[in-house]
Structure 1
Amino acid sequence: MADNALGRFVRARREATTPPDTAAQRRRTPGLRRGELADRAGISVEYLTRLERGTDRSPSGQVLASLADALALTTHERVHLYRLIKADSTCAPPGPPQLRPTVLMTLEALEPNAACVLSPAGDVLACTERFREISGLDDEPNLVRFAFSQDAKAHYPDWDQIANDRAAALRAAADLGDHAAAALAFELSITAGTAFTDRYNSAASLPPTTGTERWGPHLLVFETLHLAGEAEHRLMAYFSQH
């Protein structure tokens, strides 16, 4: 990571965090001591020192989530923390996969209903116009990330159900070795915290392949069609219930 951006950010936030005993004693240095932050985050002082100095630049998602909680980071700051880790990667992300013409023709045939093709990690690879209109995603291309965003609870009246199902789907994909799903789980463990990790870690069943979901005022019944091929894409079709 260029210039130890993660370590500098963690140290700056530690020094800007008011210690609980400020009124009881004067300190030569501002903010929390390393030992105090380490205790809050459940890590060793030695490990925190390595993170701040940049000698360890690969902390786990659990460690970063614990630090984010201990430093009372906002949602935007959690996203920034994740981006500092992501910036350390020198690998260019792969381009979007090419879908077979017959898959795109199937989507076209499903108009005017909401339908989309998803990657195992929940990326929307293609969708109908109706899906764009009612999904609430706007510029967010991933169903799981959107489910744990700030806008999700307002969009999903049954948010708990949606969040459980999206986390279970991501867990199933990650357990089967999908690297994008594992990377997204790492990201959400930091940016969404326990709202995501509690559901992800406790997922004990596969997500439903059919059922109902409410998106805003729309009550939808859905079906999942697993597409042929090694990419394990799935087509989700949503139909309005009256």
Structure 2
Amino acid sequence: MGTPLGDFVRAKRDSIQPESFGLSDRGRRRSPGLRRSDLATRAGISVEYLTRIEQGRDRNPSPAVLNALADALSLDAGERHHLRYLAKITGGTCAGRRRPAPPDREVRPTVRETLRLLEPGAAYVTNRLGDVLAYTDGFELVMGEIGLLGTGTPNLTRYVFTDPRARTVFPDWDQVADEQVFDLWLGPSAETAEWFRADLAPVAGQEFTRRLHHHLPPPPVPLRLAHPAGHELRWHREKLELRSTDAQQLVVLLPADEATAAAVERLRRRSRGLLRSVS
């Protein structure tokens, strides 16, 4: 049985073309990417030891081995951090048998004040599980009609995998799904994330579980949203890590083109018109 660490090393190795490391193509292969022997040579470890790591039979490689693998795979700073995190949760005992305390849903007053200052922009506070903890009126204007905010505890990850509307709302559904699952490995804690994955897997199905061992971060691309009002919105996302033990982030959605900015303004005018008609 594999481990998060082993799955990541294998996935990263498979994503590398030998030519990018100056290695010659030595004929047809059964699997893509860098050969295990080539990676072992670059890292200065044996093929047998690398095999044990990838297959989950060695769960506690030393920091020196982790650094050697990071160098051999040419990991960037974010990937190196992720590698160390996966080594930590692979070598530790994650969950015990009792459900851990849920992450704190409290958003600091200063963060709520920041959201107020961002009005009428679209911004929200989330954690790595996908909980939507606080948001601006601008975010509600954009997301209120898609069904995400219809529960007392909205969660983007659960919405993406269990609400049939999500595949229509997000034209790039696979990209969004990859992003949400990747984030689960980053917190709020290994124990909480493991419980969340176990809780969601039975209802989310294969589309969720097959992504659990894809540890390569998805490429950053604009978020496309097919709004029920008939607008296609494209957003750049700025994510600001908050000082918190619960992996909270402030996410700001910025129109990626003039068409999106104009569409949002039309939504605002429509919203003001609806409010006048109700009163």
TM-score normalised per structure 2: 0.49
| Structure-2 residue corresponding to 1:183 | 195
| Structure-1 residue corresponding to 2:115 | 107
Aligned ranges 1:25-64 → 2 under 5 Å: none
Q: Counterpart amino acid of 1:222? A: R
| Structure-1 residue corresponding to 2:27 | none
| Structure-2 residue corresponding to 1:139 | 150
Give the distance between the partners of 1:91 and 1:162, measured in 2 at CA: 28
Aligned ranges 1:60-75 → 2 under 5 Å: none
Give the distance between the partners of 2:216 and 2:179, measured in 1 at CA: 11
Shift of 1:131: 1.3
| Structure-2 residue corresponding to 1:192 | 204
| Structure-1 residue corresponding to 2:241 | 226
| Structure-2 residue corresponding to 1:215 | 225
Say which of 95, 105, 129 aligns to 2:137: 129
Give the distance between the partners of 1:161 and 1:95, measured in 2 at CA: 26
**Percent of aligned pairs sharing the same letter:** 32
| Structure-2 residue corresponding to 1:240 | 255
Change (3 A) 1:92 1:194: closer
CA offset digits 1:26-68 (Å, max 9, x no partner): xxxxxxxxxxxxxxxxxxxxxxxxxxxxxxxxxxxxxxxxxxx
Change (3 A) 1:171 1:95: closer
Shift of 1:155: 0.6
Give the distance between the partners of 1:169 and 1:91, measured in 2 at CA: 20
Change (3 A) 1:178 1:127: farther
Aligned ranges 1:8-19 → 2 under 5 Å: none
The total of aligned residue pairs comes to 150
Q: Counterpart amino acid of 1:214? A: R
Shift of 1:125: 0.8
Contact 1:96 1:125 in 2 (8 A): no
CA offset digits 1:106-140 (Å, max 9, x no partner): 11111111111112211111011121222231324
Contact 1:152 1:159 in 2 (8 A): yes
| Structure-2 residue corresponding to 1:116 | 124
RMSD of Structure 2 on Structure 1 (CA): 2.6
Contact 1:155 1:215 in 2 (8 A): yes
Contact 1:121 1:178 in 2 (8 A): no
TM-score normalised per structure 1: 0.55
Say which of 182, 204, 216 aligns to 1:168: 182
Q: Counterpart amino acid of 1:100? A: R
1:144 match: secondary structure: helix
Give the distance between the partners of 1:91 and 1:195, measured in 2 at CA: 25
Contact 1:107 1:115 in 2 (8 A): yes
| Structure-2 residue corresponding to 1:154 | 168
Contact 2:99 2:195 in 1 (8 A): no
Change (3 A) 1:178 1:237: farther
